[in-house]
Chains A and B, each alone.
Chain A
């Protein structure tokens, strides 16, 4: 069955059950992936997957939902029935409706679909990449975490009001994490991830080079004294922090009482005037872009922080109605509709005269800690309290030398961090989760060798 046929089948089944109002979201995917171990194929995987989520509104206009992987005729009927039963427990205090934008035109500027290269080709490419990475430095003894995959999927949204959206695309991913060992030293590990629309779009050489360089750069390490330091966040690590605290911009989180912001926070000064942050799911560099969200609302670019001030929240249909605004294209279909950012873009605004532009990670000669990558986000971030304590990979720059930090955590408060940004470098870098320049923050606590 294709997506049009499924829509017809749901519509007919709903009619037969006398269900007048419904919508659904579905995804259909075929995924292929390989892993290798010292030149040998380790595990080869293929999967065909389908997931259908149906919502039904009852006569009291309360919503029920069911998710299933069974899209047979009987499966669809069962799902509609279960959703109808679940609607008896629908939330009376926060009603859900169709998105008023679910029929608006959508923009699919950069979606590119590639043809599958197949498991054998994936395996050949990954084997070669592993060999090259192992040969890149004598201390690299293994590549314990590696994988090359390609996915082909279709996403659909439709409702009983006549909205129908569908798009299909492909995506490929390569990850290589090397492990280096030297005598009388602890093993060190680092890696790289690259995404593309298809395998042919992935820069395999640069993934190997990045993984090798990063791993080797941590071979000579030293502990760091517990203290407060001037910090330079890499683009990747700053985006990690912003995403971890994105509940500040999230209307759902505000209504749930788990955000640092409240309904009246728009206009609040959070940071230096030099900081702009956008959410731009349709950005041309976002390989994972989707032209519409779980409720069928078109994806759009939205300014979250403008010249240091909170400018907008991200919304679903119901949160937008409560905040008396329009949905922003950030909803995830569920019994309780979730809201989340797509792709964060950080940039320096025009109001940047207060920045200390001498702080440039490639030229600055004073002492600072460079945070390359933050780890254990799920464990070390208290988004509702604003605090974080996170292990990281990075270096201490001191007396003109760069020394890998053996093991340490950086701790602080997101509001403090934003207020203490002292420089935003000019060059933005593209990562797998967004775009950002290097960001400098003064006086954050580092715990190392106490």
Chain B
């Protein structure tokens, strides 16, 4: 809507707020800021939980807020508030200016007003009416948990759904003026199996962005079979023996290791902190030549895709590693300012209460030429990690990941299931040991928690072989 006619003392979604936003930005610039950014958000979320054969929780939530970020030289001040009135936003600007101790307002950057409104939300306004109703969700979740009831060893069955609809306005003193609507939906299944002293669990999560009808076509039966089979396979599994061994990591969520152990080290926030071993390795070999790794925000429907990042830049496809050579870092506005690496459309935040930071989107190792069988056949004594659990990376780059579903490899064949395995290592030592990549790249949704909160991401890879890694066990 063209709305220079609309005058309001409060940000109103669906209206043009150009005059008001410009006034607030001018105010910050007059006070001596180098750069002013306003991020305004309106959310409408809901979640549903089915346990056994009942809906046990329906949780709607909604809210609104603004984050104001001011840069002066290489410092930034960030203020968040629930007050979207002109006075409230002006107060936040003043607070940020005061925090940065800006007293010299003579040397000013120029603000020429906001550019033409880039409205990415136009085709998305109908989404809220297209997402499944609570009734539809409840029915499907109950069918899903019923599908998990395959034998009496399954003692706990859960299905969960969540939907996050986020409407944003981003305006900044470089002229950026953007609106967008983001929709993320996830559905997950969890089981616990038990027999005498034996216990196992299984879980799977599925997710999409910008696809309101996705959940309606979700194949719950296939998902239930997968989770059930995984928990049954692991129920009587022995604990794995600890040791150094070759492993094959499955595709899809197996990519979480690259995400955590290497991807985070390629974010400019890590360069700013001085905590990445790859800081001065651009155009140097950091991985086996079979490895090409990509971070992008453009795959249609993928959980980490976005039309525009939280700083108003369209996401690009960034080839991080090409044939083992480090080619690029993931950068946001602050990263470009402080490290010199160009922005990649990766400025992301959980919500208005976080300043954007350089964050991954859809991050994966590109496919190679081998079949899964080629990889397994090449190992005489090792471990196949079919399903990964969570993990973490320490301050010095060491990672640790739980293997949710693992199988021993003996003489090129998969044998017994094993539990209790963890993969331990350091990215710079493990990356050169990824010697084979499969031809079966697949992506999986997840949530990544870091400096700017929890954001939706996709991890992925084909099956890959790591020549040697420490496996923790009993």
Which chain A residues have a beta carbon within 8 Å of chain B's beta carbons? 37, 40-50, 64-71, 78-79, 82-83, 85-86, 89-94, 119-120, 141-142, 144-145, 177, 179, 186-189, 226, 256-258, 334-336, 375-376, 378-380, 382, 384-387, 389-391, 407, 409, 411-412, 445, 447, 449-450
Contacts and interface: CB of A to CB of B under 8 A. Distances in A.
Contacts of B200: 385
Lowest 3 A-B CB distances belong to which pairs?
A69-B63, A379-B390, A447-B472
A144 B273 contact: yes
B400 A450 contact: no
Interface in B76-94: 76-83
23 contacts: A37-B272, A43-B75, A44-B77, A48-B81, A66-B60, A68-B62, A69-B63, A70-B62, A70-B82, A86-B59, A86-B134, A145-B395, A179-B275, A258-B156, A379-B400, A385-B201, A387-B420, A389-B420, A389-B421, A390-B400, A391-B394, A447-B242, A450-B244
A258 B200 CA distance: 11
B358 interface: no
B455 to A, nearest CB: 17
A450 B82 contact: no
A91 B395 CA distance: 44
A447 B241 CA distance: 9
Contact of A445 (B56, B64, B79, B474): B474
A42, A336, A379: residue with the most chain B Cβ atoms closer than 10 Å? A379
A333 to B, nearest CB: 11
Interface string B395-421: 111101110000000000000000111
A41 to B, nearest CB: 5
Interface of B: 48-49, 51, 54-65, 74-83, 95-96, 98-101, 134, 138, 155-156, 192, 199-201, 239, 242-244, 272-275, 353, 355, 389-392, 394-398, 400-402, 419-422, 424, 470-474
B396 A189 contact: yes
A94 B419 CA distance: 35
B63 A70 contact: yes
A94 B57 CA distance: 11
Given A45-B79, A189-B395, A257-B156, A120 B272 contact: no
A91 B57 contact: yes
Given A67-B61, A389-B420, A409-B424, A44 B242 contact: no
A386 B198 CA distance: 11
A384 B100 contact: no
B124 to A, nearest CB: 22
Contacts of B394: 189, 375, 391
B63 A384 contact: no
Nearest to A83: B60
Given A69-B63, A189-B395, 5 more contacts: A45-B77, A70-B63, A179-B396, A379-B391, A449-B244
Given A48-B83, A385-B199, A407 B274 contact: no
A450 B99 contact: no
A411 B60 contact: no
A85 B98 CA distance: 45
A447 B470 contact: yes
A169 to B, nearest CB: 21
A93 B55 CA distance: 10
Given A48-B83, A179-B396, A411 B472 contact: yes
A119 B101 CA distance: 10
A47 B472 contact: no
B50 to A, nearest CB: 10
A70 to B, nearest CB: 6
Contacts of A386: 199
A381 to B, nearest CB: 9
Nearest to A142: B274
Nearest to B98: A119
A90 to B, nearest CB: 8
A389 B355 contact: no
Given A70-B62, A86-B58, A120 B101 contact: yes
Contact of B422 (A64, A145, A380): A380
Contacts of A258: 156, 192
A40 B424 contact: no
A256 B156 contact: yes
B81 A47 contact: yes
Contacts of A177: 395
Nearest to A186: B396
A49 B61 contact: no
Given A40-B74, A389-B402, A89 B390 contact: no
A417 B63 CA distance: 45
B61 A66 contact: yes
B82 A50 contact: yes
A228 B242 CA distance: 11
A229 to B, nearest CB: 13
A412 B474 contact: yes
Contacts of B63: 67-70
B355 A40 contact: no
Contacts of A186: 396
Contact of A391 (B64, B134, B397, B400): B400
B75 A47 contact: no
A45 B424 contact: no
A257 B155 contact: yes
A48 B80 contact: yes
A443 to B, nearest CB: 11
Contacts of B49: 335-336
A62 to B, nearest CB: 10
B192 A335 contact: no
A94 B395 contact: no
Contacts of A385: 199-201
A44 B274 contact: no
A355 to B, nearest CB: 26
B192 to A, nearest CB: 5
B64 A69 contact: yes
A82 B60 contact: yes
Contacts of A50: 82
Contacts of B391: 376, 379
Contact of A92 (B51, B54, B82, B395): B54
Given A69-B65, A70-B64, A391-B424, A378 B390 contact: yes
B473 A389 contact: yes
